[in-house]
């Protein structure tokens, strides 16, 4: 083995050692917390047997920020010679915000369609998959399924979500944690 070849072997050894040292330092960092998924939550008002359920995941920060945008009020003000100051407010109805929260958080449910042939919400098709991002095409499918549900069932699903994720419940100041 020549001196040039010996230097390459030593250099390669140092790079390998450096690689493993760096890998050890990287793995010493704190692991991100996993996304919290609820146990199936029974819908007892809709189904007294308690066999019909929904399941949610907690929203991530970016999702909460997007939902917060819906709560922001847009105010347009302008002055006119005839009418003076004119204000126009744009407020998103709370029912729309509630539906959007369910869309973001629902990961599974065993609510059957009108014929009883299959579930209305199917992960990856009409609701998000647990721990996966929420694509826009699935969101559109969610709203097609959501509009089939009776109002009382929608209200119970929203109430179940508020129980699972209390910060969404703006009506109860004690429960707001975010």
Residues 63 and 141 in one domain: yes
Structural domain count, the chain: 2
| Spatial contact of 24 and 32, defined as CB atoms under 8 Å apart | no
pTM (2 d.p.): 0.73
Residues 152 and 168 in one domain: yes
Instruction: Look at residue 142 and tell me if it is in a domain.
Output: yes
Residues 23 and 44 in one domain: no
pLDDT of the residue at 14:
84
- Residue 19 domain boundaries: 1-31
DSSP alpha helices (H): ranges in 49-135?
A: 61-71, 94-105
pLDDT of the residue at 6:
62
Per-10-residue mean pLDDT of the chain, 178 residues long, equals 63 82 76 87 94 94 85 73 76 87 96 91 95 90 95 96 83 50
Residues 22 and 107 in one domain: no
- As a 3-state breakdown, the chain gives helix, strand, coil percent values, each rounded to 5, of 45, 15, 40
Residues 124 and 149 in one domain: yes
**Interval 2-30: pLDDT, tens:** 556 666 667 778 888 888 888 777 777 77
Per the listing, tokens 């599974």 go with 108
Residues 19 and 51 in one domain: no
């Amino acid at each position: 083995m020549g001196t040039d070849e010996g230097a390459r072997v030593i250099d390669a050894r140092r790079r390998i050692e450096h690689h493993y040292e760096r890998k050890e330092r990287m793995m010493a960092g704190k692991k991100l917390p996993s996304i919290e998924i609820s146990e199936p939550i029974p819908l007892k008002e809709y189904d007294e047997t308690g066999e019909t359920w929904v399941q949610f995941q907690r929203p991530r920060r970016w999702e909460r920020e997007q939902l917060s945008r819906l709560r922001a009020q847009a105010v347009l003000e302008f002055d006119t010679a005839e009418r003076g100051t004119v204000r126009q407010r744009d407020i998103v109805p709370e029912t729309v915000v509630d539906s959007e929260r369910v869309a973001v958080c629902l990961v599974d449910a065993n609510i059957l369609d009108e014929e009883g042939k299959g579930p209305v919400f199917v992960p990856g098709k009409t609701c998000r998959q647990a721990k996966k991002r929420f694509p826009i095409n699935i969101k559109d499918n969610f709203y097609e399924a959501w509009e089939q549900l009776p109002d009382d069932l929608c209200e119970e699903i929203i109430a179940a979500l508020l129980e699972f994720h209390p910060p969404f419940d703006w009506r109860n100041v004690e429960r707001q944690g975010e």
